[in-house]
Structure 1
């Protein structure tokens, strides 16, 4: 099942929306969150690493940079830490979504892009703030709905 979620993660990287060469919208986080919820932080982190590397190999979009692989590992692990073996509650989904948005999307991503392209961190951060303020409620709502669906399927399959 985790392999299927990694495959779905890779497939969803083909359907991202590029706003610029350093700013894009993607929903490939959903299978990663599902994997963290179902299998925990270790498997969630591993799924993030494998998904990031396979996604790059399937669709190389610029140079490979291990910082983004670290982001994927941290995201999968955080989803696992917040969601594994717990009922899906809106406040926990908001908490993990907010933590990933702030720590990874607004801090680490601009650092890696600044290192890669030589752009000023603050310039990269400005565009990301606007994008993440708009996308946070959308991503959180999608994540909550997807995880609730997985939770219902999991409950039905166990009974």
Structure 2
């Protein structure tokens, strides 16, 4: 049986709050495109705590963020995308030697599968418009922000690793 430790519950809450802040408060939002750094706390948390924890924290942050800040109604597809992203970050980074190649491949994989495929599918289902109308703008945003996201993650993760024993 799995027992929750108080430290882990607090850590989960802090990272859920960080994800919500980076995704909803410190973001630029249009109906079809969001520019945010919500991936950063999720990727760092999943790299430290593992795939299942990463997926659950990603889903919890999506649910709470949607309840608190969503301009529209809740759509479960985005929660599935958030869970999958957290799970993949954890699977690729948890207890692994994290190289730039691994970071690059993970971010490319999530960009193609989650951002371009799943999230575009969810938006086309929500707004009843052709996926191609969303795909081009999301592709251009991804090409611009992918290198920025990779650099941000690698810098922040190295800093967290330096103090990991003190924090965790």
What TM-score do you get using the length of structure 1 for normalisation?
A: 0.93
Aligned pair count reads 156
Partner residue in 2 for 1:46: 56
Match of 2:27 among 4, 16, 37: 16
Partner residue in 2 for 1:78: 88
Query: Unaligned regions of 5+ residues in structure 1, if any?
Result: none
Matched, 1:35 2:39: no
Aligned-residue RMSD, C-alpha: 1.3
Matched, 1:2 2:25: no
Partner residue in 1 for 2:132: 122
Give the conservation status (yes or no) of the 8 Å contact 2:63–2:79: yes
The CA deviation string for residues 74-107 of structure 1, in whole angstroms up to 9 with x for no partner, is: 0000000000012332111111111111100011
- Which 4+ runs in 1 deviate beyond 3 A? none
Query: Unaligned regions of 5+ residues in structure 2, if any?
Result: 1-10
For the residues of structure 2 that align with 1:56 and 1:21, how far apart are their CA atoms? 14
Matched, 1:95 2:105: yes
Match of 1:133 among 143, 146, 149: 143
For the residues of structure 2 that align with 1:108 and 1:132, how far apart are their CA atoms? 14
Compute the displacement of 1:59 (Å).
0.6
For the residues of structure 2 that align with 1:97 and 1:108, how far apart are their CA atoms? 15
What TM-score do you get using the length of structure 2 for normalisation?
A: 0.89
Matched, 1:106 2:116: yes
